[in-house]
Amino acid sequence: PVYIQKVAAKALASYKSAEPPNFLKKNNKIYAERRDVLVDRLRSMGFKCDKPKATFYVWLNCKSSSIEYATKLLSVGVAVTPGIGFGEHGENYVRFSLTQPKERIVEACKRIAALFGCADTQ
């Protein structure tokens, strides 16, 4: 929404330094760590996914119905968003969120490996 963008612009304009504030550096580090854990583990299982640079979502090409794939993951307690919900080009993708602690991401990866019979080598 526009009002959120205006608030964000005003907040960002209040910073005078080229360096991001400490709380932002801390959060960036946390999310980068979570991203690396998820992407590295998924790749080690043979899945293909890009490592995002500026978001806390990871998209996985599931090469099948995103709703069926999300339902399959949900059956083992791993919640993802079916890509079709973002339009026709999102089909065959599911979206992972990096908002959970690293330990829960590791557990999700173990469940995914068990579900698909993949080796989780991390």
- What is the per-residue pLDDT across 58-102, written as a single tens digit (0 to 9) for each? 999 999 999 999 999 999 999 999 999 999 999 999 999 999 999
pLDDT for residue 13: 81
d(CA 119, CA 105): 16
| Residue 56 located in a structural domain | yes
| Residue 76 located in a structural domain | yes
Provide the residue type at 46 as one letter. Answer: G
pLDDT for residue 86: 97
| Residue 121 located in a structural domain | no
pLDDT category of residue 121 using cuts at 50, 70 and 90:
low
Mean pLDDT, range 97-112, rounded to an integer: 97
pLDDT score of 14 more than 90? no
Q: Phi/psi of residue 82, each to 5°?
A: -65, 135
Q: How many domains does the chain have?
A: 1
- CATH number where 53 lies: 3.90.1150.10
| Domain membership of residue 111 as a residue range | 20-116
d(CA 112, CA 122): 13
H helices of 1-122, in order, are 2-13, 22-44, 66-74, 102-116
Mean pLDDT, range 10-39, rounded to an integer: 89
| Residue 10 located in a structural domain | no
pLDDT for residue 71: 98
pTM across the whole model: 0.84
pLDDT for residue 122: 66
